[in-house]
Amino acid sequence: MERELEIRVGDRRIATNDFTKQIIISALTGLLKPLKHVDTEKNIQITIGALKN
């Protein structure tokens, strides 16, 4: 089953090739899978806020 990946920094969409996309998806799902009550088969949304001074 193939997943979609969209990365945005600010309003700018960051392009990824298939290899990069699969590495990022595998890494993130691998980190989330051991967490309790996390179903990695569902849509995953991660937001990283801007640095604060």
Which pLDDT does position 53 carry in this prediction?
A: 86
pLDDT digits (tens, 9 = 90+) for 8-30: 999 999 999 999 999 999 999 99
**What is d(CA 15, CA 6) in angstroms, rounded to the nearest whole number?**
8
Better-predicted residue by pLDDT, 2 or 18:
18
Helix (H, G, I), strand (E, B) or coil at 44: coil
What's the mean per-residue pLDDT of the chain? 94
In this structure, are residues 47 and 31 in contact, taking their beta carbons and an 8 Å threshold?
A: no
What global pTM score does this model have? 0.81
Structural domain spans, the chain: 1-53
Output helix, strand, coil percentages for the chain, rounded to the nearest 5. 30, 10, 60
In this structure, are residues 40 and 33 in contact, taking their beta carbons and an 8 Å threshold?
A: yes
**What is d(CA 35, CA 19) in angstroms, rounded to the nearest whole number?**
26
